[in-house]
Amino acid sequence: MVYNLWVSARRGEVAEANPWGSRSPEWQIPSPIPEHSYAEPFVVVGEPYDYGLPGSVYVNMHPSAGAAAPAAAGE
């Protein structure tokens, strides 16, 4: 394990910012992570099973002032 870690650190390829194409908030911030991760609160607007559908959005990183978050179905 130590050998693999050493070889990866010395010669490994640098991964892209979001290698899995995740839409979750933790993958939307830059690397290295700044002291304050988000300038303003974000709003989760997507459904859990619409991943990969054209036009689907999961997180609104810059909600407009005064905009309410959409209510979940059945509420």
The reported pLDDT for the residue numbered 75 is: 46
pTM: 0.41
The reported pLDDT for the residue numbered 64 is: 66
Tell me, yes or no, whether 61 lies in a domain: yes
Q: What is the span of the domain harbouring residue 48?
A: 35-66
The reported pLDDT for the residue numbered 8 is: 83
The reported pLDDT for the residue numbered 11 is: 83
Distance, first Cα to last Cα, the chain:
50
Q: How many domains is the chain built from?
A: 1
pLDDT in tens, the chain (75 residues): 899 888 888 887 777 777 777 777 777 777 777 777 777 777 887 777 777 777 777 777 776 655 555 554 444
Distance CA 65, CA 62 (A): 9
Please report, to the nearest 10 degrees, the dihedral formed by the alpha carbons of residues 33, 37, 43, 45 taken in order: 0
Tell me, yes or no, whether 56 lies in a domain: yes
The amino acid that residue 13 corresponds to is: E
